Copies of this chain bind each other. A is one copy, B any other.
Amino acid sequence: MLDTQMFFDKNRSAGYLVNHMARLFARELQARIAPLGLSTGTFPALLVLWETEGLTQRELVAALDIEQATMANTLTRMERDGLIVRRGDAADGRVQRVWLTPRARALRDPAVTAANTVNEAALGPLSKAERETFIDMMSRIIATRGTGRGPGDEPEGRQAAADG
């Protein structure tokens, strides 16, 4: 299958590989936490709430870099599934604070174990040192957020088509 004229090699494209990796991680995590009654979308919210309950939706959004509407929907599912309750803030009528149910609190240890297991398995092919490097690189990429420029900052457009 050796493509002779490769104009774009997806298997050397960071974006494609990141997407593929993310799907693999999600599949693995899903398989391991489904038995607990959890799903991949609720997991990050739980991670934050296991640290600190009573956060507002806005605070959760900021902690996870998720859009507000996405978080609202996720919390609705979590409430439906008996993981959280939303209670209005006494001082501010707009605010809904999020509290874990006993069930959600009890799921912390098995869920974290599942996540650790997935991470360990996925990083299996990397050495200890490489794992640190890998995580550092991802942190830097995320921290930088592709902020090379903003739209309208510069004519932009070109750039060597031959991905080097």
Contact = CB atoms under 8 A, between A and B. Distances in A.
Contacts of A138: 14, 17-18, 20-21
Interface residues of A, number: 73
Nearest to A151: B31
A141 interface: yes
Contacts of A69: none
Copies of the chain in the assembly = 2
A41 to B, nearest CB: 10
A115 interface: yes
Contact of A130 (B19, B118, B137, B145): B137
A7 B112 contact: yes
Contacts of A113: 157-159, 161
Given A7-B112, A15-B118, A19-B22, 16 more contacts: A6-B51, A7-B108, A8-B112, A10-B47, A14-B25, A14-B122, A14-B135, A17-B138, A17-B142, A19-B25, A20-B65, A21-B141, A25-B146, A31-B151, A118-B146, A133-B137
